[in-house]
Amino acid sequence: MTTDTTYGTGSANADEASSLPATSPLKGSEKTTGRVPKKRVNKSLLSLLNDACKYSAYSEYSMPSGFLRRKGSDSSRPGAKDDELQNTTQGSDNNPSSISVSVQKQRQVNKKRQSESSVNGLDENTQKVVTRKKPSRIKKKADPQSRHTSKLVAESPRKSESSVGSQPDATSSTNNLMNHKNLRKDLVSSQRANSFIEDQTNHFTRRRDLFDSDALQSKETFDCELIHSRSLSDPQRTNPNVVKLQSILYPDFEEEYTVDFNVDLSKYNPMSEIGRIIEYTVQIYVPKKIANQLRKKVVQPLNKAFDDRNQEGFIRAVETFNEIVRKVPRTDVIERLRCTEEVPTSFFHSLLHTVYVRTIHPKARSLKEYQAFSNYVYGELLPNFLTTAYAQCGLKSGDIFMDLGSGVGNCVLQAALEFGCSLSFGCELMPNASDLTTTQELELQRRCKLWGLKLCPTKFSLRTSFVDNPIVDELLPKCDVLLVNNFIFDAKLNLQIQKLIQVLKPGCKVISLKNLRPFGYTINFDDVGNIMNRLTVKRYDLPENSVSWTHRGGEYYISTVGEDIDESIFTTHSKGRVRMGRRVKYTR
Ligand SMILES: C[S@@+](CC[C@H](N)C(=O)[O-])C[C@H]1O[C@@H](n2cnc3c(N)ncnc32)[C@H](O)[C@@H]1O
């Protein structure tokens, strides 16, 4: 019987070989000619080498000094270090996965495209396609001016290549639905004008019970403590340039913001946040007639003031917004929400980010307190990627989602907010990440309330391992989608995960960054019931800007638990054996 318990990436090939760093010194004549004679290389050895290189300090895969979402490094800048995640921010951050994205430049590009389209006589649809196809990466040098004014402190909700459509919910009520086509049309036109919201016109999230209209109707006051914007931008409260932003749903709630274009905005830009909040309010919350009025009287002047770095103009536009929304009858807003079953996915990403900057950023350093190259190295999967991966797994309301090694809870919270699972569960061992999970969960719950959103139930098992964890053991057999970011997990922990997942039910999907089934896995006929034999594993290309520790792409896996043995474990392996001229051995 042959068994191989080595954890490889499962995808070793010649291309990977060429991507390996040149660590082996050249010998004799090779040095002088610079040519290396071609050799047949063992594929599993390559896979091992490739894995090993991920941990090499010199490799492009080396663990970053910080393993968090970028605060503003420009990964598109030539020579930008892959792993400088905690660095001081650069002026022009064009990395779509990063927190800070150049609004100003994005706008300039949009304007340029508009004028190009009119010059070339392109019609509206053509323009739309161009805008959609072109990702928002703008490879320009940092502009010292834009360092202060051009930062959108938001997840850039860029559409990834593999991004998938919204999640239809079969149980959705069809009564009284708002006209989604109109909403999309409005969005497209607002995108074409300057906007604080990046181009996400083609990705919507559909979910039953997005809004908690009954709770909204029963309570008119907002009685929760939130982490205010000013505690980030002006903790000493010395800056006199302040504006209050009126909540659309709670007349008694305003959030105070500093409006100052002359301070360092590279880490957090309150004006961008205000811009996004106002635009989403206009798109999603206010009745249509008032929305048009707001677009003219607020959104346009607000964008202009932002572009011109005009503080007074910006504050004036916010005050006009406050005046108008205060007059909107609350019942009209609630009525509109009652009919809404679909919102731009970027709205959720933006909300998650608003929470993340308030709760995680200020304590980010604490997440770096781990032993290098251990299982506890911290890193994050980014919202755009998660939206895609969850949708690929068919995650839907009513499902149970689990994240083993949940960090600060991002993946769990996103699954609950965006996909409305019946339970979204995370387990995290490290104390600092656990503390931040609690803070982040609370802030999200409160902000969801502020926006009238229903956040589906979340649960965490914190400061505890997922191994020998009774809550994990109880939930795993019911789990529909399991996430294991095992990119940095060692072979021993991966083996423990293999033992844990034996109880998963047929149909359950597992998202992992390394193949759960070891490369060269061979069936053991003494253990045919092993779940490894019933996994159908699909490898996907990880698009660029999907994870926090590198802007580069890579791979990820979705494994589906089947009822029966996955035939491919015979075929792929036997093919390999045949190629290598060896006999296939499935012996006892
Ligand atoms: C790379 S982070 C992933 C965070 C999050 N799931 C994501 O993908 O954004 C892996 C996390 O697993 C946690 N971890 C490692 N071993 C664990 C264990 N035995 N039990 C619980 N958590 C563990 C680490 O502390 C770390 O926070």
User: Which sequence spans correspond to the domains of the chain?
Assistant: 69-153, 368-579
Can you read off the two tokens belonging to residue 70?
């970028």
379 lines ligand 1 (CB under 6 A): yes
The pLDDT assigned to 54 comes to 43
Give the pLDDT confidence of 474-506 residue by residue, as tens digits.
999 999 999 999 998 998 999 999 999 999 999
* Average pLDDT along the chain: 74
Q: Which amino acid is at 125?
A: N
For residue 406, give the ligand 1 atom closest to its CA.
6
The pLDDT assigned to 568 comes to 84
What is the rounded distance in angstroms from the CA atom of residue 270 to the CA atom of residue 278? 12
For residue 380, give the ligand 1 atom closest to its CA.
9
Instruction: Determine the residue of 485, 493, 498, 499 to mutate for testing ligand 1's pocket, defined as the one with the most ligand atoms within 8 A of the Cβ atom.
Output: 485
Half-sphere exposure of 473 (CA within 13 A, CB side): 8
The pLDDT assigned to 432 comes to 95
User: 20 or 115: which carries more pLDDT confidence?
Assistant: 115
Instruction: Answer for the pair 47, 357: CB distance below 8 angstroms, yes or no.
Output: no
428 lines ligand 1 (CB under 6 A): yes
465 lines ligand 1 (CB under 6 A): yes
Residue 40's pLDDT band (boundaries 50, 70, 90)? low
428 C-alpha to ligand 1 centroid (Å): 6
Query: Is 56 assigned to a binding site?
Result: no
64 lines ligand 1 (CB under 6 A): no
Please choose, from the candidates 282, 229, 283, 218, the residue with its C-alpha nearest in 3D space to the C-alpha of residue 254: 229
% of the chain residues with pLDDT over 70: 64
The pLDDT assigned to 376 comes to 85
Q: Which of 21-35, 273-287, 377-391 has the lowest mean pLDDT?
A: 21-35
489 C-alpha to ligand 1 centroid (Å): 9
User: 122 or 546: which carries more pLDDT confidence?
Assistant: 546
Over range 279-293, report the average pLDDT: 95
Query: Is 408 assigned to a binding site?
Result: yes
376 lines ligand 1 (CB under 6 A): yes
For residue 426, give the ligand 1 atom closest to its CA.
6
What is the rounded distance in angstroms from the CA atom of residue 58 to the CA atom of residue 24? 13
Query: Is 406 assigned to a binding site?
Result: yes
410 lines ligand 1 (CB under 6 A): yes
Residue found under tokens 């939130």? 226
407 C-alpha to ligand 1 centroid (Å): 5
In this structure, the residue with its CA closest to atom 4 of ligand 1 is 407
CB atoms within 10 A of CB 323: 12
User: What does the CA dihedral 290, 292, 293, 295 come to, rounded to 10 degrees?
Assistant: 120
pLDDT exceeds cutoff 50 at 22: no
User: Domain 368-579 carries which CATH code?
Assistant: 3.40.50.150
Residue found under tokens 């995290």? 428
For the chain, how many residues are written?
Answer: 588
What is the rounded distance in angstroms from the CA atom of residue 516 to the CA atom of residue 501? 10
Query: Is 402 assigned to a binding site?
Result: yes
Residue 375's pLDDT band (boundaries 50, 70, 90)? confident
Q: Which of 396-400, 555-559, 578-582 has the lowest mean pLDDT?
A: 578-582
Instruction: Answer for the pair 212, 452: CB distance below 8 angstroms, yes or no.
Output: yes
294 C-alpha to ligand 1 centroid (Å): 44
In this structure, the residue with its CA closest to atom 25 of ligand 1 is 376
Query: Is 120 assigned to a binding site?
Result: no
548 C-alpha to ligand 1 centroid (Å): 14
What is the rounded distance in angstroms from the CA atom of residue 352 to the CA atom of residue 421? 16
486 lines ligand 1 (CB under 6 A): no
Q: Which of 34-38, 391-395, 510-514 has the lowest mean pLDDT?
A: 34-38
What is the rounded distance in angstroms from the CA atom of residue 244 to the CA atom of residue 346? 24
Q: Which amino acid is at 118?
A: S
Give the pLDDT confidence of 430-481 residue by residue, as tens digits.
999 999 999 999 999 999 999 999 999 999 999 999 999 999 999 999 999 9
Give the end-to-end CA distance of the chain in Å, rounded to a whole number: 5
For residue 465, give the ligand 1 atom closest to its CA.
20
Instruction: Answer for the pair 84, 138: CB distance below 8 angstroms, yes or no.
Output: no
Regarding beta strands 400-404 and 423-428, do their DSSP bridges make them parallel or antiparallel, or are they unpaired?
parallel
- Strand stretches in 154-298, DSSP E: 204-206, 242-246, 254-258
The pLDDT assigned to 420 comes to 92
